[in-house]
Chain A
Amino acid sequence: MKLSRIGIRRLLQVSSALVVLGLLIEIVSLLWFHPLSFVLFAFVAAGLIGGGILVYLVSLVFVVGPAVNEER
C-alpha cells in the first residue's frame, strides 16, 4: 500500500502515539534512579520518540507532497 493512500491523519495518529509513549517512558527513566534507566531511555524511549518524529516527517514528504502537486 502506498503511503499517500494511508492518509495523513492515520500517520499523524501513529506518530503521536509513538511520541507520547516515548515521552512517558522518558519520564519514567528520569524518575527511576537505576543503571537500567539509561538503557530504558537510550533504547526504548529514544527509539519510540525518534520513530514518531520520523513517521511525522515521512507523512509530510510522502502524503502532503503528492496532494500539493495535484493541486497545481
Chain B
Amino acid sequence: MLAPALALLGMLFIFPVLYSTYLGFTNLELVGSRSHDYSFTGLENVTRMLGDYVFIKSTWLTAVFVLGSAIIGQSVLGMALAMLLRKAVLPIRAVVGSVVIIAWVLPEITVALVWYAFSQAGGTLSLLLRHPDSNYLVLVPMLIVSVANLWRNVAFSMLVFSAGLRNLPTEVLEAAEVEGASAWRRYWLVIVPLLKPTIVTNLLLVTILNLSEFTLIYAMTQGGPGTDTMTLPLYVYQEAFVFNQLGYGTAISLVLVVFGAVFSLLFVRAARTQV
C-alpha cells in the first residue's frame, strides 16, 4: 500500500534531491555545448559563489527577509493578534479574524497583485501618504515585499498562538491576577514562559516556510529593481532558467537547502522533546 506513494516520491522527490546534490557540483547548462558535455567540477561552483557579489547580496537579502518578515514580523504580529482577539467583542473578533485568514487563503499571485496595486505610483499607499508619484515598489522594495509577505502569512502564526493561548491553564492566570500582578507582569512572567513550546514551534515553522518564498516576490518585482529584492530562491531561478546555468543554479539552491535543513532539524528536535 505504501508502494504507489513511495514510487511517486521516489521518482519526483527523492531522485531529484539526490540528483540536485550531484548537479550542484557540475557545470551543466541548459543550452549550448555544456548541456551535453558537462562535467563534474568539484568545488568550482562554491568558489564562484563566494566571489559572486550578487550571491552574497542575495544571501543577505534572504536573511533580512526571513528575519524581518517572518521571524520578527509574523511572530510578533501573530501573537499580538491572538492576544487581542481574545479580548475582542464578538463582531470584531469574527470580522478581523476572517479578514486575516482570507489574506492567507488567497492565491499568492492575488496577494502579489493587490500589493502591487497598493504600492504603485498612484496606488492607494501613495495616495494615503500624499506622494502620488512615488512607486514604493521601486523606492523601498524589500520593505514592501516583506510587509506583503507578512500580510499574507500572519494568519498562520495567529492560529498557532491562539491554540496555545487557549490551552493555557486558566486558574494559574487567575491566581496571578488575584496575587496582584498587572497585565504586563502576567504576560511576561506567566503567559510567555508557559507558551515557550508554542513560540519555539512557531519560530521554526515560520522560518522553514518563508525561507523558500518565491512567487510573491517574483510576481511583484522579479528581483528588482536591479537585484534589490533578489532573495536566494529568485536568484536560483535566474541563474538556472534565465542564464541557463543549471549547475550553478542548483549549487545555490543547495545553500538554501542547508539553511533549511538546519532549521528543520532544530524543529524536529524541539518537537520530539515536547512530547
Partners in one complex: no
Please give the residue numbers on chain A whose beta carbons come within 8 Å of chain B beta carbons, in ascending order.
none
